Structure 1
Amino acid sequence: MKNKRREEILHKFNHFMDVIDKLRDPEKGCPWDREQTLKTMKDFFLEECYELNHEIIAGDHEKTADELGDILLLISLCAKIGEEERKFDMGDILDKISHKLIERHPHVFGDQNVSDSGDVIKKWDEIKRAKRKKNISEDLVMSLPPLLWAYKVQKRLANIGFDFTTYDETLVKVREELEELSHEIKTGAREKIEGELGDMFFALINLSRHLSVNPETALVSSITKFIDRVGFIENNSEKHYGRPFKELTMAEMDRLWELAKNKPVMEER
Structure 2
Amino acid sequence: MNSREEQLKALDRLLTIMDELREQCPWDRKQTMQSLRHLTIEEVYELGDAILDKDLDEVKKELGDVLLHIVFYAKIGSETRDFDIGDVANTICEKLIARHPHIYGDVKVNGEEDVKRNWENLKLKEGKKSVLEGVPQSLPALVKANRIQDKVAGVGFDWEEPSQVWEKLQEELGEFQEEVKKNDADQMEAEFGDVLFSMINYARFLNINPENALERTNKKFIKRFRYLEEKAAASQKNLKDMSLDEMDVHWNKSKDFFK
How high is the TM-score relative to the length of structure 2?
Answer: 0.94
Matched, 1:177 2:175: no
Q: Would the aligned equivalents of 1:234 and 1:245 in 2 still touch at CA under 8 Å? A: yes
From 235, 239, 247, the equivalent of 2:241 is 247
CA deviations over 1:51-101 (Å, ceiling 9, x no partner): 111101111111000000000000000000001111111111011011001
Deviation track 1:26-56 (CA, whole Å, cap 9, x = no partner) reads xxx2111111111112212221111111101
For residues 91 and 141 of structure 1, the distance between their equivalents in structure 2, rounded to whole angstroms, comes to 26
| Contact 2:135/2:147 (8 A) holds in 1 | no
Number of residue pairs matched by the alignment:
258
**Match for residue 11 of structure 2?**
13
Residue pairs, 1:115-194, within 5 angstroms: 115-136=110-131, 139=133, 142-143=136-137, 144-194=139-189
Find the aligned partners of 1:102 and 1:109 in 2 and give their Cα distance.
Answer: 6
1 CA distance for matches of 2:127 and 2:147?
17
Pair 1:232 & 2:230 matched: no
* Pair 1:73 & 2:68 matched: yes
* Change beyond 3 A, Cα 1:147–1:227: same
1:40 partnered with 2:35:
yes
Query: Structure 2: which amino acid aligns with 1:126?
Result: N
Shift, 1:215, TM fit: 0.5
Partner of residue 259, structure 1:
253
State the identity as a percent: 38
Structure 1 stretches of 5 or more lacking a match?
none
Distance, in Å, in 1 between the alignment partners of 2:157 and 2:202 is: 15
Distance apart, 1:141 and its partner CA: 5.2
TM-score of the superposed pair, with normalisation by structure 1: 0.90
Which consecutive segments of 4 or more residues in structure 1 shift more than 4 A?
none
Cα–Cα, structure 1 residues 202 and 265, in superposed 2: closer, same or farther, change >3 Å?
closer
* Residue 85 (structure 1) aligned to one of 67, 80, 84: 80
Does the 8 Å contact 2:102/2:109 carry over to 1? yes
- How much is the aligned-residue C-alpha RMSD, in angstroms? 1.8
* CA distance 1:183–1:265, change in 2 (3 Å): closer
Equivalent-residue separation in structure 2 for 1:78 and 1:87 (angstroms):
11
Look up the equivalent residue of 1:123 and give its one-letter code: N
